[in-house]
Structure 1
Amino acid sequence: MKRIGFVTCVQLGLSCMEAIYDAGGEITLAMTLTDEQAKHKSGRVYIDDFCAKHSVALLKSTHVNNPEVIEAINRYKIDWLFIIGWSQIASKELINSPNEGVLGIHPTLLPQGRGRAAIPWAILKGLDETGVTLFKLDEGVDTGPIVEQISIEMDRKMCATRLYEKVNQAHVELIKKVIPDLLRDNVEMLAQDDTLASEWPGRSPEDGQINLNGSVVDAERLIRAVTHPYPGAFYYNNKGQKVIVWEAEISNECKSGDLEFNDGFLTIIKSDVSE
């Protein structure tokens, strides 16, 4: 039996831990943040009960690259280490600590979309397809060899909320699909073709401002791209108030409360006024 380690502090990671057991695997060592860290992080969970239920050794540390984490990986002779839903960047020493490597999941079809803000960018770019990629970490950013991918079809009405859910489901499906091969030493990896690679930059809440002098098509797409669980698209009304728009649709006729653009009107369905 391969000795699996897991690093996470969010619900998505815990769901993937559960998926490992559903697929016939076991976890030897789990690492998470200390209890007082990232209390307000989206999806923050505590994995103590899961580890106790499955007799998994649990280490809490302020950073994944701390010496005690490296020592634990070596002491428990971890073969594969999963890092899911984790914002700290793994060091070269950590990447080289497990016997066979470190595995991560990126929410695009690598080598497309290396970098940040994968869900908003997939919508903003009007893609017909996106997905998730399980890959072996190296010292680059999302550049390691691909283990497996799952595709997600995009449609004209895809919003961040729905895509976020689909991406999370695909994480779990990917884990269940790969674990049996991982346990049998039957994993084949495919080097990424750098000539096909693209890098997507990070986004800030300020990038969600609607251009009232632009296209209604672009505005509607932006609203879908940064709705929940993201901060939302916004504009300032004639009172100077910040209006966060969570859902809207394009209209050819102007109705009361619509935003007017050069090429159409935007009917706001759900919004909040930020005081």
Structure 2
Amino acid sequence: MSGNRNRPARAIVFAYHDVGVRCLRVLLDAGVEVPLVVTHADAPGETIWFRSVAAVAAEHGLHCVTPADPHDPALLVAARAAEPDFLFSFYYRQMLKRDWLALPRRGAFNMHGSLLPRYRGRAPVNWAVIHGERETGATLHRMNEKPDNGAIVDQCAVPILRDDTASEVFGKVTVAAEIVLARSLPALLDGTAVERPQDLSQGRYFGGRKPEDGRIPGDAGARQIHDLVRALAPPYPPAFLRLQGQTVFITRTLPAPAPAGAPGSGLRLLREGDSLWLIAADGSALRVLAAQRDGSAEPLTARNFDGIFRGRWVPADA
């Protein structure tokens, strides 16, 4: 272990996505030495709409690796030789085990995209929007072997407007993460940071989401459907329903009073004049501002509705 107390603090960084980019830049701006950056190779078939941690590392001449397994013994040996003071994880997608967490002299810390202890686990921004939350944020916390479980260093809240998409909220959370790290880092570096344990009873874990989880429930009300649509709006796999055997993606909606005398019952799509409407089973309604059939490059609109479906309104397939 190095005895040079005058050298700059040294941190190994696990990072991905926009949060990873901004937080890595915060560390570099503060003069923290980063001998190793661990990130992900972009997955084939995934829509890459976010910035590249590997590109930022290359710009700054940092050693950057993309291991399939971050627990490769050779990588741990190299990391240990760097004698890091800290380890930071900024939206890295794999859980780090005890060997990594015990390696840095002054601790391992993670940036999570929620106001912990709420929305621990995967896809926290999407889940917060799905549940109609009016705020979320970013939390810097100490890492232990249970995900999103350790003591909180700092957190910053951001508002969720009623029509915000998850992508828009994620942009706010990225800024919140940068604020949290920038204002917490001086105290972490000088050893004066105060950590507080989480009250885990005030939140719960959420799992990852798959494209098929985006099917709009037949018994959901308009507000619940609207929250699902905006939580899954592009660049995420969008919310959808099946109509006369066809998959229709609903990517933008707006709550509004239902047209007078809206026909039919149950969840249904309705053409009314120049507008499309999604009518929930309870009669509440959404104006459909953007929709598309699977396999078609042409948006689904009121103008082409009659040429695609039989009738002015179409019930959702069971």
Q: Kindly report structure 1 stretches of 4+ aligned residues shifted beyond 6 Å.
A: none
Q: Using the alignment, how far apart are the partners of 1:251 and 1:198 within structure 2?
A: 33
Name 2:248's counterpart in structure 1. 243
Match of 1:15 among 19, 22, 28: 22
Q: Is the 8 A contact 2:13 2:87 kept in 1?
A: yes
Preserved contact between residue 15 and residue 89 of structure 2 (Cα < 8 Å): yes
The sequence identity of aligned pairs, in percent, is: 27
Q: How does 1:87-166 map to 2 (within 5 A)?
A: 87-166=93-172
How many angstroms does 1:244 deviate by?
Answer: 0.8
2:164 partner SS: coil
Q: Which amino acid aligns with 2:277?
A: D
Q: CA deviation at 1:248?
A: 0.7
Amino acid at match of 1:13: G
Residue in structure 2 matching 1:272, options 286, 292, 299 = 292
Contact 1:59–1:69 at 8 Å: present in 2 too? no
**Number of equivalences:** 271
Structure with the bigger RCO (C-alpha within 8 Å, sep 6+) is: 1
Contact (CA 8 Å) 1:259, 1:266: kept in 2 or not?
yes
RMSD: 2.2
Moved more, 221-230 or 6-15: 6-15
Residue 271 of structure 1 and its aligned partner are, at CA, apart by 1.6
After superposition, give the CA deviation of every residue in 1:159-185 in whole Å (9 maximum; x if it has no partner).
212111111121222221222222222
Residue 260 of structure 1 aligns with which residue? 279
Give the TM-score, by structure 1 length.
Answer: 0.89
Q: Secondary structure at 2:225's aligned position in 1?
A: helix
> 2 CA distance for matches of 1:153 and 1:142?
21
Gaps of 5+ in 1: none
Instruction: Determine which of 176, 182, 190 is the counterpart of 2:182.
Output: 176
Alpha carbons of 1:200 and 1:58: their partners in 2 closer, same or farther (altered >3 Å)?
closer
Question: Which sits farther off after the overlay, 137-146 or 156-165?
Answer: 156-165
State the one-letter code of the partner of 2:152. I
Q: Does 1:6 align with 2:13?
A: yes
Match for residue 26 of structure 1? Answer: 33
Structure 1 residues 156 and 30, CA, compared in 2 at 3 Å: closer, same or farther? same
Measure the CA separation in 1 of the matches of 2:57 and 2:131.
40
| Partner Cα distance (1:10, 1:222) in 2 | 23
Q: Is it true that 1:79 corresponds to 2:79 in the alignment?
A: no
Residues 39 and 92 of structure 2 are in contact (CA less than 8 Å); yes or no, is this contact kept in structure 1? no
CA 1:189–1:259 in structure 2 vs 1: closer, same or farther (change >3 Å)? Answer: same
Distance (Å, rounded) in 2 between the aligned partners of 1:161 and 1:50: 22
What is the distance in 2 between the residues matched to 1:56 and 1:158? 36
**Could you tell me how far 1:263 is from its partner in structure 2?**
2.4
Deviation at 1:65, TM superposition (A): 1.2
Superposed CA deviations along residues 92-148 of structure 1, whole A, max 9, x for unmatched, are 111111112221111111111111221122122222321111111101121011111
Aligned equivalents of 1:125 and 1:12: distance in 2? 23
Contact 1:123 1:224 in 2 (8 A): yes
* 8 Å CA contact retained: 2:115, 2:136: yes
8 Å CA contact 2:87, 2:104 repeated in 1: yes
Whether the aligned pair in 2 keeps the contact of 1:38 and 1:44 (CA below 8 Å) is no
Deviation for aligned residue 1:241: 1.6
| DSSP 3-state at the match of 1:258 | strand
Equivalent-residue separation in structure 2 for 1:53 and 1:215 (angstroms): 49
**Residues 194 and 264 of structure 1: CA distance in aligned 2, closer, same or farther (over 3 Å):** closer
* Aligned 8 A contact 2:38 2:67 in 1: yes
